[in-house]
Amino acid sequence: MHRITRRDIPQQVITVLEGLRKAGYQAYLVGGCIRDLLTGKTPKDFDVSTNATPEQVRRVFSNSRIIGRRFKICHVVFGRDIIEVTTFRSNQEPKHDSFKHQTSDTGMLVRDNIYGRSIEEDADRRDFTINSIYYDLKTGQLIDYHAGIYDLRRGVIDIIGDPQKRYLEDPVRMIRALRFAAKLGFKISERTAKPIRSMAVLLRQVSNARMFEEVNKLFLTGHGLESYHILRSYGIFEILFPGLGEFLDNPVFNSFVEYALQSSDERFAGQKRNMPHFLYAVILWSKFQSELFRMRDLNESVVDAASLRELADLACPAVLRAQNAVTAIPFGIAESIRSMWSLQLQFLDIDDPEEVASIASRQLFRGGFDIFRLRARFEPYLQPYVDFWQPYYDESASRAHVRAAKNQEREERRSERRALKEQQRAEAPKSRDLASEEFADDTDAERQDRLARARAWRASMHLEP
């Protein structure tokens, strides 16, 4: 017995499920969407599992695309909405098909495109029991091969299969276990938790692009503070942020990061978006500041000493390079981090009115000031500068609010126009259908006669036949 109904599922998802079934394939909802629905949460994404291969899914839906190399999947696109469709996986390890199945020397899966034939096989390949519950739209039934519903009720994160083997295949599963524990408030089963501390070093083998996405999920989606605590307890935080281990015993560092993450969680709860550049600028600030002071001390013995801002331009790339080795920070985000760190120094210069006006008009002024204001809670000498800049911040926020309201109005008008056009297209008579009705009773001879007269007219008008 459960409370999931069709009303809980977006129409685009139903379109994909029914489209695959009509094409002769099996199709189920699975994973986080079912877990969230069963725990009373609103799913962010809906994932479909099917026995159709990505190529077959592509043929069923013209609005789809195949992505991925390590795991090939299909995205069915409905405007801004994307429905992820995955093919059943198999637990078999082929001996002579390295193109579809590859592992590294340590046993990590580099490529896994061996498809399963049944939902049972696919369930064995899922990571945790609570993510292996399937929903059959046609029958309304839940299908659970690994007691996922039982673990949901107990509030337990339990991995499917042998933990060490599963972590060797994909070390990110360790982070996922901790993230689900932080997000759901669940306990991690003893057998699932036991290998994590000793195997956490394997995370360094994961691509930095993938790790960037995983860190965003940990800290930007409403449970950043709890993620920070649980990552520290398992010794993984310093792996994700190299060079910060020396700060973890500093109470000021911890208080600063904890307060910032708590604020971000509150923003998310208020349906405001958290940004990666703000996250990294906060967490890495102490490391940047330490590097800047180190350069300043060395710089004092130089005859032609560089300014503090010039030193900041040298310290920033050094810090981000070290971080980029673990999490691939996109160039635009890195530039935003650099700008916000630079603003921390510029906020101390309040004597030149023209410079003040220039700083207050910058794109990242409010983001930089948010960090500055956070710092002032733990660095009291900054408070007079916070008081100085606060009116500029309030004015900038007010202008941004007005712009957002205007953009919202424009978007609503666009949506109304699109809806009206779609309605007009739906109600408009189709000329092809009218023509078919008009000539429906013509014999073949009459149709041929009509075609002949049309060709003669085109020839007389010197048009192409």
pLDDT digits (tens, 9 = 90+) for 45-67: 899 999 999 999 999 999 999 98
Distance of CA 110 to the CA centre of its chain: 21
Under 8 Å CB-to-CB from 338, ≥6 apart: which residues? 313, 316, 317, 320
Residue 36, token pair as written in the block = 């969230």
Q: How many other β-carbons are positioned within 10 Å of the β-carbon of residue 324?
A: 15
Structural domain spans, the chain? 1-160
Residue 34, token pair as written in the block = 């079912």
Residue corresponding to tokens 């000793």: 198
Under 8 Å CB-to-CB from 154, ≥6 apart: which residues? none
Burial bucket for residue 114 (CB in 10 Å: 0-12, 13-18, 19+): middle
pLDDT attached to residue 104: 53
CATH number of this structure's domain 1-160 = 3.30.460.10
Under 8 Å CB-to-CB from 400, ≥6 apart: which residues? 366
pLDDT attached to residue 451: 75
d(CA 238, CA 250): 14
Could you tell me which of 208, 359, 362, 212 has the C-alpha nearest to residue 279? 212
Residues paired with residue 71 on neighbouring β-strands, in sequence order? none
pLDDT attached to residue 310: 85
Taking the CA atoms of residue 281, residue 285, residue 289 and residue 290 in that order, the dihedral angle to the nearest 10 degrees is -130
d(CA 296, CA 312): 9
d(CA 186, CA 420): 47
pLDDT attached to residue 434: 44
Residue 169, token pair as written in the block = 């295949």
pLDDT attached to residue 426: 61
Q: Provide the whole-model pTM.
A: 0.80
pLDDT attached to residue 108: 54
Catalytic center residues: 45, 47, 127
Residue 465, token pair as written in the block = 């036949």
- The H helix count followed by the E strand count for the chain is 22, 11
Residues paired with residue 48 on neighbouring β-strands, in sequence order? 29, 85
Under 8 Å CB-to-CB from 388, ≥6 apart: which residues? 350
Under 8 Å between Cβ of 6 and 14: yes
Under 8 Å between Cβ of 218 and 179: yes
d(CA 340, CA 332): 13
Q: Which residues of the chain have a pLDDT value below 70?
A: 70, 92-113, 301-305, 419, 422-444, 460-465
Could you tell me which of 47, 195, 69, 68 has the C-alpha nearest to residue 131? 47
One-letter amino acid for residue 282 of the chain = V
Under 8 Å between Cβ of 377 and 402: no
pLDDT attached to residue 79: 86
- The 10 Å CB-count burial string (b at 16+, else e) for 60-71 is bbeebeeeeeee
